Structure 1
Amino acid sequence: MKELQDQDVVYEISRKNSPVVHADDGELVLFHTQDCYKNMVTNENAAMSEQFPDETPNNPATGPVYINGAQPGDVVAVEILDIRVQDHGVVENGHNHYPLAADQERIRILPIHNNTVTFHDVTWRLEPMIGVIGMPADNDEPMPTMCVFNGGGNMDNRRITKGATVYLPVRVEGGLLALGDLHATMGDGEVCGTGLEVAGEVLVRLHLIKNFALNWPVIETKTRWYVNTNGKTTDEAIRAGYKEMRRLLANAYGWDDADAAIYMTLRGYVEACQACLVPGAGGNSMRIGTPKLADHKPLITKEN
């Protein structure tokens, strides 16, 4: 097993990043992560600017990992075996470009106990997830870890949790995988701009799939497949996801585009990941889904 510490971080997903470790196909990798505020926000009653100044980089992603044998045109499948989070998380409201932003800044630091969190008198079970996971895009432009793009990044997709597998297109030699920005719990849309931001650790197994065309990240859960996309508008992101899901269905099941589209109109899902209207961060992040069928070939298989 390979292990990365929470100081092994990047703030851009880029082909220029030097790998922290090299991992083989099928190998376990343990990522230790900071929260999106670099673990610096510790006081509900102090201003955010005092604890985390505006010029401070955020969303540290642990990595990157070089996957031996990965070449452009391949796919890396990241099988999420476990996510463990620390005993408290931070949620914030107060930036005026979010849909439900408050007029006055507010910070809540919520304790985590027995895999639950309590807000006022409401208690619920955690659903720990990975906010940032990705590999470099198909150009030379580094992507800040605040951004979502066609290599992943800040997807803030709450389906990326224990038991899921994330399929990422390889566009540079070795893939260069990084992940971080854990949330102990987060609602669809992340409408205040944050989930329950938390430090923790993620255990994954890496699988290398050779020569598979993938235009956007794909997430496999126990019951569904999702294509994760983004766009300047929600419509643009949804349209891109529909087209990629149609292509994958047609390829896997031997259908033509017309029948794949008919299937999507009968059994498709449209869900919001990050729809908090963050300027300059890649636009809204959406996921387009379809059911997994036990008696059909999977859209993507982890076997080479």
Structure 2
Amino acid sequence: MAPSHSFHVHASSSHLRWSNAIAPALRVPSGAEVTLELPDGGGNQITRESVAAAGGGAAALSSFRFDLADPCVGPIYVEGAEPGDVLRVDVLDVAPAADFAWTAVFPGFGILSDDEEFGVPALKLWDLHTAKQDNHIVFRPSSPRIVVPFAPFLGVVGLAPAAAGELPTVPPMPDTGGNIDTRYVTAGSSLHLPVKVPGALLSCGDAHAAQGDGEVCGTAAEMRATARLRVTVEKGKPWVKSPWVLTAPTKAVGGEGEGEGEKREYMCLGIDSDLREATRKAVRGVVDWLAAEMGLTRVEAYMLASVAGNLKMCEVVDMPNYTIGCSIPLSIFVS
């Protein structure tokens, strides 16, 4: 169905805290398409010019301000969204808004932050001039040449929390998302978020040109971006208690002589300061969905999650919270 309206949000409508008291930058009907201009995860503090002026990558990080990291653009008030509903965010496109991306090692940040060998700041710039055409970005141009798939996605997609007060944007929130840094939120995917306040109050940011599961050094290929989304209010999905991702279609070889087909996964994100509890939340979410939507008993659902499910360490560096995904391939449901 074509959207009845299309809207635009400029990067100037940004904030550095999650709060339900932030006035909406935009008000849209359910089903609207929204285009957002997004600064990078560092708040555009890293530029080609700053690196050149500083005389090198490490020097360019000397003035980096972490209090400006992970800016979010929004919030967007979606009409008809009420607590208990779900906001479906369809990612239609994520495109670079600059010709470069960057990856940094910051002392004291990342999963190996206690290792002395990573105690010196380091910065790498990625050239994005031909990333879309080539479908990759170049890590090293020569012997051995190393390229990384160009797979842009949004690291931050979240809704305002129910509680009063402010929360920082760097750690993901256990229920309403935020800095989930889940690389499966690419064009063609959908994110389902539980609504906690009237209007949902959606904000986005922190686009990446590429990232591995975990984002282990603390940064991905951080890029400025333009994102195009469709936002839709959905009712009657009480099992959505944390972010859920319906992955984009990919080509897969079908079974029983079916040849190639489309492969998609539905994935619950468990977010918690304890790694084991984050995993338990993700598995419980899958059990809830299988029981509510697929007609399985909870015991059957638990067994199916063990046999056909997959765990993914989506983000392990935005302390104090980890993001663990438990996914089920939709191809197993054959009739």
CA distance in 2, matches of 1:143, 1:175: 16
State which of 260, 278, 301 in structure 2 corresponds to 1:237.
Answer: 278
* Distance change in 2, residues 1:142/1:212 (3 Å): farther
Number of aligned residue pairs: 292
TM-score (norm 1): 0.91
CA distance in 1, matches of 2:268, 2:278: 10
* Distance change in 2, residues 1:124/1:93 (3 Å): same
TM-score (norm 2): 0.83
Partner of residue 154, structure 2: 130
Letter in 1 for 2:294: Y
CA distance in 2, matches of 1:80, 1:179: 11
Larger Rg: 2
Partner of residue 117, structure 1: 137
Partner of residue 153, structure 1: 178
SS of 2:68's equivalent in the other structure is coil
Report Cα offsets for 1:246-293 as digits up to 9, x if no partner.
Answer: 0111000111111111111110110011112x433xx21111100114
Whether 2:70 is the aligned partner of 1:49: answer: no
Query: Is the CA contact (8 Å cut-off) linking 1:14 and 1:135 kept in structure 2?
Result: no
Whether 2:326 is the aligned partner of 1:288: answer: yes
CA distance in 2, matches of 1:234, 1:45: 32
SS of 1:250's equivalent in the other structure is helix
Query: Is the CA contact (8 Å cut-off) linking 2:58 and 2:121 kept in structure 1?
Result: no
CA distance in 1, matches of 2:121, 2:333: 51
Query: Is the CA contact (8 Å cut-off) linking 1:136 and 1:143 kept in structure 2?
Result: no
Partner of residue 38, structure 2: 33
Partner of residue 301, structure 1: none
SS of 1:108's equivalent in the other structure is strand
Shift of 1:234: 1.7
* Distance change in 2, residues 1:263/1:294 (3 Å): closer
Query: Is the CA contact (8 Å cut-off) linking 2:171 and 2:319 kept in structure 1?
Result: no
Partner of residue 169, structure 1: 194
Whether 2:100 is the aligned partner of 1:74: answer: no
Whether 2:235 is the aligned partner of 1:210: answer: yes
Query: Is the CA contact (8 Å cut-off) linking 1:190 and 1:273 kept in structure 2?
Result: yes
SS of 1:211's equivalent in the other structure is coil
* Distance change in 2, residues 1:152/1:296 (3 Å): farther
Letter in 1 for 2:72: A
Report Cα offsets for 1:165-218 as digits up to 9, x if no partner.
Answer: 000111100000000000100111111100011101100111110232121110
How much identity, in percent, do the aligned residues show?
A: 26
Letter in 1 for 2:274: T
- The worse-fitting range, judged by mean Cα deviation, of 243-252 and 39-48 is 39-48
Letter in 2 for 1:3: H
Report Cα offsets for 1:206-254 as digits up to 9, x if no partner.
Answer: 1110232121110001310001121222211000111111011100011
- The worse-fitting range, judged by mean Cα deviation, of 5-14 and 39-48 is 39-48
* Distance change in 2, residues 1:110/1:271 (3 Å): same
SS of 2:62's equivalent in the other structure is helix
State which of 182, 196, 201 in structure 1 corresponds to 2:226.
Answer: 201
Partner of residue 96, structure 1: 108
Whether 2:246 is the aligned partner of 1:220: answer: yes
The gaps in structure 1 that reach 5 residues or longer are 298-304
SS of 1:156's equivalent in the other structure is coil
- The worse-fitting range, judged by mean Cα deviation, of 35-44 and 149-158 is 35-44
CA distance in 2, matches of 1:226, 1:141: 30
CA distance in 2, matches of 1:118, 1:156: 21
Letter in 2 for 1:279: M
Letter in 2 for 1:84: A
The gaps in structure 2 that reach 5 residues or longer are 1-5, 52-56, 250-263
